[in-house]
Structure 1
Amino acid sequence: MSTTASDASSAPWPEDPLATLAALPGVPDAVDSVRKAVDRVYGHRVMRRRGGEVTSEAALRAARGSAALSGADWALEEVRRRSDFGSDAEARTVGAALRLNAEAGQLLSIWSQSPLRVLARLHLVAAGGAGVSDRTVGRPRLAGEPVVEAPGSDLAASGPAVSGAGALLPDGALPEGAPAAGPWAEAPLPGADEVAARLDGLARLVIATSAAPALVTAAVVHGELLALRPFGSYNGLVARAAERIVLIGSGLDPKSICPAEVGHAELGRAAYAAAFDGYLTGTPEGMATWIAHCGRAVELGVRESTAVCEALQRGAA
């Protein structure tokens, strides 16, 4: 995470770097709190009879939350009723989030063996029909290629490319007049060589056997993809979809009813940005803050699905 492109392949890693993060002060408490919350919603009586409905509703709400964090903050009922997601940039962002959540469950078996293939597929799904150049879809960006988070909108702001800069640099300035698409847009944009090196490192972390809880792995995958912005568009959506895949595939949330995206959106963009700043520092305190924030997002997602269960039990949904 904190290694720069120049030393990513040579610097010695801890035997299990994710487990090291899991032992940081406050992280075990966050992990335990998430585990208890997930167990409670899975034990709800509605889950025994109508779990599929809860899963479907969680996916819809997760997509709405992820799109909101990428600048398309639509009401849930608007997302539910719309069928045209190609009319403008916000609609395309919502459509991309919906497609990603539908695709995530199909990629679980591939993720543990080839996470880079999954990330490429996620970007391909997100960018489909969004007016993104075919040359940039489904592959990490090349040197000199810009990052336009939501194609067709003004959410194109990315920090300047910084060759050899690590993820753990302070925030960089945006070009004058460029609006921020999210907290990741204000950090320096790593150069293409660094992106390739660190994606490889992230893939090795995912494939390696780790004793770390799912929350820790999911938070690191999410944070690293936000920091790298490896694709020319929709990096925030892809990062949150990858977090979802880790939470599902790990067995923490096998039925995908604990939408962290809902929690991230509920906590708000300012809190998301502040926690992500912690990730960018790479300090133990900063990493623990980011992991705890991701844990709180999962808990709020659990609360949302618990409310859905209660509504189904009352016959109100």
Structure 2
Amino acid sequence: MCSPCFDRFTGYGVPVDPLSPLLDLADVAPALAEARERVDAAMRHRALRRHGGQVAAEASLRAAVASAALEGHPYELDDVRGGTVTDPVVQGALRVAEGVGGLVDLWPRAPRQVLAKLHVLAAGGVVPPAELGRLTGAADRVDMLAGLVAGNDRTPPLLLAAIVHAELITLRPFAGPAGVVARAAARLTLISRGFDPRGLVAVEVGHQAREPEYVGSAGAYATGTPDGVRSWLRHYAAAVTVAADDITAIGDDVLASV
């Protein structure tokens, strides 16, 4: 865990932003600001006025396919869309994508409960039933992360989502496709904090498009060094930018089809 990030944090409810020092790392704040601007621009796409549900459904599908691919189970998007892929990791990622909307309100109130639910959705058919929703370790660190999420309305959404994601892929506290859980938790953070209220930003697509950087920066984050954390945050901003451009691409396709 990036322990310096949590030095001022104790318990549930966040009276100050313990992650604010991360914005002082070189190039991090501008990168996150640029990503925010790209998302805001994408949210003004004409397709979202009348076809927002269609765009959201396609973004959700792409997020699931990308998340499964990042877990080592890559398939063509059209094959998954056509219903011919029965791989349990893919099916789990699809269940997670479908279930995220129902967990938005609960996430900032009971993050541990939501993480367990995400694992049940993601790992069904992959791990033994007795392991579903159960931590395999790092309980104390997961509690710290949950405390950071619960009641935190101070940390900027992009920064908080990036740390949630990085902590969970570093810890991998669940058996099986723990990365699917990590990416979904980050997405829940963006939705619940109002950055992406319609669930359009498929950051998973950005991670897959920049997969070598994703893997490398996650490993760098795990070192706990300022440079490692900076590398991850810059990657996360770049992945969000890719996801913003994907919203535009989906919107263009939708308008072309109507």
Is the TM value for this pair above 0.5?
Answer: yes
**Closer/same/farther in 2, CA of residues 225 and 231 from structure 1, 3 Å limit:** same
**Closer/same/farther in 2, CA of residues 12 and 265 from structure 1, 3 Å limit:** closer
**Closer/same/farther in 2, CA of residues 236 and 131 from structure 1, 3 Å limit:** closer
Distance 2:2 2:157 in 1: 20
**Residue type matched to 1:132 in 2?**
V
Could you tell me which residue of structure 1 aligns to residue 157 of structure 2?
Answer: 214
Cα-to-partner distance string for 1:139-172 (whole Å, 9 max, x where unaligned):
101xxxxxxxxxxxxxxxxxxxxxxxxxxxxxxx
Could you tell me which residue of structure 1 aligns to residue 180 of structure 2?
Answer: 237
**Closer/same/farther in 2, CA of residues 46 and 124 from structure 1, 3 Å limit:** same
Indicate which of 102, 105, 110 corresponds to 2:106: 110
| SS of residue matched to 1:110 | coil
What are the equivalent positions in structure 2 for 1:112-127 lying under 5 Å apart?
Answer: 112-127=108-123
| SS of residue matched to 1:254 | coil
Distance 1:3 1:271 in 2: 23
What are the equivalent positions in structure 2 for 1:162-177 lying under 5 Å apart?
Answer: none
Distance 1:209 1:314 in 2: 41
Indicate which of 224, 233, 236 corresponds to 1:291: 233
**Residue type matched to 2:119 in 1?**
H
| SS of residue matched to 1:17 | coil
Pair 1:13-2:14 in alignment: no
Indicate which of 133, 140, 151 corresponds to 2:128: 133
Give the 4+ runs in structure 1 shifted more than 6 A: none
What are the equivalent positions in structure 2 for 1:119-198 lying under 5 Å apart?
Answer: 119-128=115-124, 130-141=125-136, 192=137, 195-198=138-141
Distance 1:111 1:136 in 2: 21
Could you tell me which residue of structure 2 aligns to residue 308 of structure 1?
Answer: 250
Could you tell me which residue of structure 2 aligns to residue 264 of structure 1?
Answer: 207
Could you tell me which residue of structure 2 aligns to residue 101 of structure 1?
Answer: 97
Cα-to-partner distance string for 1:71-118 (whole Å, 9 max, x where unaligned):
111111011012552xxxxx1111111110111111011110110000
Could you tell me which residue of structure 1 aligns to residue 13 of structure 2?
Answer: none
Pair 1:71-2:66 in alignment: no
Deviation at 1:209, TM superposition (A): 2.9
Deviation at 1:211, TM superposition (A): 2.7
> Structure 2: any 5+ residue segments left out of the alignment?
10-15
Deviation at 1:306, TM superposition (A): 0.5
| TM-score under structure 1 length normalisation | 0.76
Distance 2:96 2:123 in 1: 10
Distance 2:150 2:255 in 1: 40
**Residue type matched to 2:223 in 1?**
T
Could you tell me which residue of structure 1 aligns to residue 2 of structure 2?
Answer: 2
| TM-score under structure 2 length normalisation | 0.92
Could you tell me which residue of structure 2 aligns to residue 228 of structure 1?
Answer: 171
**Closer/same/farther in 2, CA of residues 109 and 313 from structure 1, 3 Å limit:** same
Could you tell me which residue of structure 2 aligns to residue 203 of structure 1?
Answer: 146
Distance 1:252 1:208 in 2: 16
**Residue type matched to 2:179 in 1?**
G
Q: Which has the higher contact order (CA 8 A, sep 6+)?
A: 2
The 8 Å contact of residues 2 and 221 in structure 2, kept in 1 or not, is answered as no
Distance 2:195 2:170 in 1: 25
CA RMSD after TM alignment:
1.9
Cα-to-partner distance string for 1:178-211 (whole Å, 9 max, x where unaligned):
xxxxxxxxxxxxxx3xx01101110111114353
Cα-to-partner distance string for 1:9-65 (whole Å, 9 max, x where unaligned):
xx8426422222233221111111111111111111111110000000000111111
The 8 Å contact of residues 99 and 126 in structure 1, kept in 2 or not, is answered as yes
